Structure 1
Amino acid sequence: MATLSAVLATTHHPFFYKATELTPPEEQIPDAPEWKQRVESYRETLTAAEPELLVMVGSDHFHQFFYDNYPTFLIGKQPRYDATFYNEEREFSIPTFQLEGHEELSGYLLQGLMDRGFDFSVSHELKIDHSIICPIITTRPQADLPIVPIYTNIFAPPLPSPKRFYDLGRAIREVIDEYPSDKRIAAIGTGHLSLELGGPRMFEEHGPDPEWDVQAIDWLAHGDIEAILENVTWESMSTTGNATPGFLDLVLMLGIAGPEKADYIDDLDLFHTREMYMTWYPAGDPRPASGRKHDLRRETPA
């Protein structure tokens, strides 16, 4: 059977590459060196897991799906994927990519999830946007591993409940665990903490609701799905920022990991947003003890 070697849940900031790699040091924002260091440390959590395939969870930012026909859950099934839309190149300086697909695992996941009551859409012409390219840039910049992309609806209400996202994560975990292969698979998913896009709180000093961000990170870090299901609703997320429902994809990643404490947790209070980096090792932590200095920086909820 396949080995799920790592589960990564992270925010995705489209300006990371532009703010660090593409900007001369003397012109960078003050946070850029620390931001880069945090990301490089996080990258090592994936490298240590030695994955051979990546299951990647993200969402389309109205590039190819719109309010008239936005799939709730979708999986790509293609031999390769083009990535990065024109506006992402123009605004964020994100380069184009062509990523190898893994049609066999896509098909196995599709059938396994349908057997478990999740009626997925499937695309043979999916183009990847920055919800998946951002974690490629930050965690696997060589872009050398086959991917299986899973898209969820976090933008076009009505949305599935947090429990549905968590249950989908549990189902994905079951199917990966049953996949008849000796491959090492990592699952990487990106979403949001409190976030405002185009609204009045978009460019404030912090994210729209810093206290909610801290609490949400603690829930995820300690595998506290009961608290998430008790406190997280469409209404509660929407009051903290118009894009905060992206947190649902992080709940999905907790479902894949299981209600367990994370093995690695780090975050950065960046201008107008809080960035979060979290990793679980279902097959055991492969890192030497000396490389675990960031583990569970919060031992108890704030």
Structure 2
Amino acid sequence: MATLSAVLATTHHPFYLKATTAPPEERMPQADEWKRKVEAYRETLTVAKPDILVMVGADHFHQFFSDNYPTFLIGKQPMYDATFYNETREFGLPTFLLQGHEELSGYMLQGLLDRGFDFSVSHELKIDHSIICPIITTRPDADLPIVPIYTNIFAPPLPSPKRFWDLGRAIRSIIDEWPSDLRVAAVGSGHLSLELGGPRQFGETGPDPEFDLQAIEWLRTGDIDGILANVTHESMSGAGNATHGFMDLILMMGIAGPIEASYVDSLDLFHTREAYVTWYPEGAPS
């Protein structure tokens, strides 16, 4: 059976690359600390020695819109073109051509259908920064095949936080049952409290620092009961109009299970808090 070697839940800040590669005189004050934290976080994936990455993200209205936005979607392609024009223009993100893993995509699609998750499937999916940013921060060589999973965190009506947790548990069981000797790591990105285009977008911290600290604690301790008792669509909206991205982090904790994280770090930027969490379901690498 396959080995789930690591589960990573992180934020995806599109300005990371530009902020940390700018000339020293042009860098934001937190750039050097940001780079140190990301490079330390990267090691938590490197030491797990994965062969395949299951990548969880969300399309930022690049190819899906409110009139036809899939609740959950999996890609099944030999290759994935990545990075849209506006992401290169605005954020300085490079383009990528990522290898896919059609065997695991097909096995996971059937397993999800069997478990009651009616996934959409795409054979022409293009990848945006919700997956490219974690590639840049955790696997910059982009040298591993991926299985991309997209969730709807933007276009109401949205699935519940519990549905994201249950999806994570289903993905975990499928990886555990996959008849392969390969090592799989799951890397997913979302948000803590976040405001996009609203009056709280450019504060000194994220729009709800208390939610951010509590959310990181829930992830650190694997406290799904605390999450499901306190996190609703209404409470996430109150924390910031884009905070529903936290549900993708719940999904990643679902893949790991209700266990304590092996690695937790965060960084408070001027308008958001970045988070970096890693679980090792089979035990931390020596």
TM norm. shorter chain > 0.5: yes
Residue type of the alignment partner of 2:274: E
- The structural deviation recorded for 1:25 is 1.3
Residue type of the alignment partner of 2:219: L
Residue type of the alignment partner of 1:218: E
- 2: CA distance between counterparts of 1:72 and 1:252? 14
Match of 2:52 in 1: 53
Match of 1:15 in 2: 15
- 2: CA distance between counterparts of 1:263 and 1:111? 31
Match of 1:91 in 2: 90
CA offset digits 1:124-174 (Å, max 9, x no partner): 000000000000000000000000000000000111111100000000000
Give the root-mean-square deviation of aligned CA atoms. 0.5
CA offset digits 1:70-124 (Å, max 9, x no partner): 0000000000000000000000000000000000000000000000000000000
- The structural deviation recorded for 1:214 is 0.2
- 2: CA distance between counterparts of 1:272 and 1:78? 36
- 2: CA distance between counterparts of 1:283 and 1:53? 16
- 1: CA distance between counterparts of 2:283 and 2:218? 21
Q: Secondary structure at the match of 2:274?
A: strand
- 2: CA distance between counterparts of 1:222 and 1:249? 17
CA offset digits 1:197-217 (Å, max 9, x no partner): 111111110000001100010
Match of 2:271 in 1: 272
Residue type of the alignment partner of 1:282: P
Identity of aligned residues (%): 78
- 1: CA distance between counterparts of 2:269 and 2:151? 26
1:177 aligns with 2:176: yes
Match of 1:129 in 2: 128
Match of 1:150 in 2: 149
1:3 aligns with 2:15: no
Q: Secondary structure at the match of 2:188?
A: strand
- The structural deviation recorded for 1:271 is 1.1
Residue type of the alignment partner of 1:7: V
Match of 1:281 in 2: 280
Q: Secondary structure at the match of 1:228?
A: helix
Match of 2:245 in 1: 246
Aligned 1:6-45 pairs, distance under 5 A: 6-21=6-21, 23-45=22-44
- 2: CA distance between counterparts of 1:128 and 1:184? 23
- 2: CA distance between counterparts of 1:163 and 1:240? 19
State the TM-score, normalized to the length of structure 1: 0.94
Q: How many residues align?
A: 286
Deviation above 6 Å: which 4+ runs of structure 1? none
- The structural deviation recorded for 1:265 is 0.2
Match of 1:299 in 2: none
- 2: CA distance between counterparts of 1:138 and 1:214? 22
Match of 2:79 in 1: 80
- 1: CA distance between counterparts of 2:203 and 2:283? 40
- Segments of 5+ residues of structure 2 without an aligned counterpart are none
- The structural deviation recorded for 1:27 is 1.2
- 1: CA distance between counterparts of 2:144 and 2:225? 35
- 2: CA distance between counterparts of 1:249 and 1:76? 17
- 2: CA distance between counterparts of 1:147 and 1:175? 16
Residue type of the alignment partner of 1:82: D
State the TM-score, normalized to the length of structure 2: 0.99
- The structural deviation recorded for 1:283 is 1.4
Q: Secondary structure at the match of 1:49?
A: coil
